[in-house]
Amino acid sequence: MSIDVVGAALSNAAVIAADHEHVFHSWSAQGSPVPLAFAGGEGVELWDHDGKRYLDFSSQLVNVTIGYQHPKVVEAIQRQAATLTTIAPAHANATRSLAAERIAGVAPDGFEKVFFTNGGADANENAMRMARLVTGRDKIVSHYRSYHGNTGAAVVATGDWRRVPNEFARGHVHAFGPYLYRSEFWATTPEQETERALHHLERVVQAEGPASIAAILLESVPGTAGVLVPPPGYLAGVRAIADRYGLLLILDEVMAGFGRTGAWFAFEHFAVRPDLITFAKGVNSGYVPVGGVIISDPVAAAFDDRIFPGGLTYSGHPLAAASIVATIDAMRDEGIVEHAASIGEDHLGPALRDLAARHALVGEVRGLGVFWAVELVEDPATRSPLPPAAMVRIKAGLLERGLLPFVQDNRIHVVPPAVIGAEDVARGVAIIDEVLTEAE
């Protein structure tokens, strides 16, 4: 079958059929066609080939922070494409330098160097490699409830997939992070959860032997695992443990970074300073694939006289670099990070808490900025998760009404583009309200 990708007469059915013929999809069995096809988007909306419009409460995979087709970013990519579309990482390139300068400009003081990758997983791969080379140690400690990417070491660091057989799963250790709603530590207050999770983490470090550990790798706010906003004092306590035992602290800001929580970096909410920061997604809203590691000065200096053996053909690709410069400029000029904070505090958070107050199905609502999870339970007393079949029906109900959700396990993650306005927040939450009423 051949389709004209820019043709006006395409239907959803034709596009889905063509996709099914030759595209091998991520995270899927290949037997059935994918359910949705999208033709275009603008701002916080997408539309399909049959003319149906969707309000996006997913930001795709939580990356489209500035919304679809931001004209300044589209234009910057077009301008760069007309000038130079590719250049090897070994050469200097003005657009790449500007992108690194913009990223260092929003990072904390003392983070001057940026290593570019193609996405978030390889950002974490390279951060772990840097930590191992600098410390001369092997192990990486991360949380069971985490997602760090789907390549070699990143998938091993990912706690969510520890149960999947993996021949590379060596040199990685996991600990339970804080999650008060389902506390592993019999905690009933955030303070207890912090204290006990830190005690547990320190015992894991001691038991593994600090001299064998290179780094602790954590998402500042674990995202895919449930938008698990850490309780007060947890991340600062992790920093103290890292310092006590001479370990590096890598904070994975791939999903939470670049505005999603209403700050440039999520760790800014928790007064903690990492040694390495990994990023991707929001840095350019996914307009061109890119990610990277922001490196603190002492770690960067450790490579002054030694080779860093990591490298990727497309590291610092000019189209990605141009999109980063334009995205960060647009976010600054338009106050998008500040908007994410206020829309979360004044509209999204209150509307979701109101849902929780009115629906017994809602066990907990948690989040910051435009980064929220609504956790659904069968029974609020036992907190037993809403079963998968019910979640499938809820997802279908949302899609039917034109809301594109990010549904994960027993949760609806409410993660719209940060440019969403109050009216669209109200419109999307009203759809969730309706679907929950129907489910009850």
376 belongs to the binding site for ligand PLP (CB under 6 A): no
60 belongs to the binding site for ligand PLP (CB under 6 A): no
d(CA 381, CA 131): 44
148 belongs to the binding site for ligand PLP (CB under 6 A): yes
CB of 52 to ligand PLP, least distance (A): 26
- Stretch of 143-151, 168-176, 303-311, 372-380 lying at the interface with ligand PLP (CB under 6 A): 143-151
312 belongs to the binding site for ligand PLP (CB under 6 A): no
- Stretch of 115-123, 168-176, 239-247, 427-435 lying at the interface with ligand PLP (CB under 6 A): 115-123
49 belongs to the binding site for ligand PLP (CB under 6 A): no
CB of 150 to ligand PLP, least distance (A): 6
125 belongs to the binding site for ligand PLP (CB under 6 A): no
Measured from the CB atom, the residue of 194 and 220 that comes closer to ligand PLP is 220
Measured from the CB atom, the residue of 226 and 291 that comes closer to ligand PLP is 291
331 belongs to the binding site for ligand PLP (CB under 6 A): no
Footprint of ligand PLP on residues 170-229 (CB under 6 A)?
219, 223-224
98 belongs to the binding site for ligand PLP (CB under 6 A): no
- Stretch of 36-44, 97-105, 147-155, 342-350 lying at the interface with ligand PLP (CB under 6 A): 147-155
Number of residues that bind ligand PLP (CB under 6 A): 16
Give how far Cα 182 sits from Cα of 33, 153, 188, 229, 428, Å.
Answer: 36, 28, 10, 13, 27
Tokens encoding 141: 């400690």
370 close to 22: Cβ distance less than 8 angstroms = no
Of 55, 121, 248, 407, the one binding ligand PLP by CB under 6 A: 121
CB of 223 to ligand PLP, least distance (A): 5
d(CA 269, CA 267): 5
Of 57, 111, 115, 147, the one binding ligand PLP by CB under 6 A: 147
Measured from the CB atom, the residue of 49 and 224 that comes closer to ligand PLP is 224
Measured from the CB atom, the residue of 147 and 265 that comes closer to ligand PLP is 147
CB of 277 to ligand PLP, least distance (A): 12
119 belongs to the binding site for ligand PLP (CB under 6 A): yes
255 belongs to the binding site for ligand PLP (CB under 6 A): yes
149 belongs to the binding site for ligand PLP (CB under 6 A): yes
Measured from the CB atom, the residue of 154 and 436 that comes closer to ligand PLP is 154
In one letter, which amino acid is 355? L
230 belongs to the binding site for ligand PLP (CB under 6 A): no
363 belongs to the binding site for ligand PLP (CB under 6 A): no
- The residue ranges that bind ligand PLP (CB under 6 A) are 61, 119-121, 124, 147-149, 219, 223-224, 252, 254-255, 280, 291
